[in-house]
Structure 1
């Protein structure tokens, strides 16, 4: 299990952490900065986290996934700081013997992260900016 809050997402590293000779299914979800939100043009995002609480909550979610599905590997990384359009900000990865468990666990992890982990983003538009709640 590899859980971290990072300045930069390394997709190759995340994939390598999921490698296992007994894993036939590997899923890697990558969330990136898009160029629009709320009907406005986005210029960049800034992420902040209460790191000790975020890591604790991410571990809790990861343990729930490991109890529910037979996973070989699990990666959860979220970036903090200023991020530009197209830049990865979150990566969730799972590996398992079969694809069904890997797909289901990956979906569960990203959904629960978005619901419960104290990470906030500030969306910058051409004319203003706004903080977005950690839990919509």
Structure 2
């Protein structure tokens, strides 16, 4: 289990399935948004690609998914991400607690610019 997953579990009171799933969903979105720059994230978090690959499949259903379809762009992406968190038995507010921990972790690993970019993409 990665150090970041352990931090998420202890700081947020989630279990391993929720921590890995939420992180995987978030990283999967970041991989789409960062493109080739995602490899920089992998330098700070070596298991990033694996977690993104193992992210739960989300149906994009429900009210948040519908809102995401209507909003499009960044707001739509965040709505879909929140919908994915719901599938992990976490409410949408938990996303707002994941992002600062991820950004802080990246900054500690020497990726200050990357941490800021991640925060910007995820609305931190």
TM-score when normalising by structure 2: 0.30
Higher helix share: 2
Q: Higher strand share goes to which structure?
A: 1
Given the two structures, how large is their TM-score scaled by the length of structure 1?
0.28
Q: Which has the higher contact order (CA 8 A, sep 6+)?
A: 1
Q: Decide which structure has the larger Cα Rg and report it.
A: 1
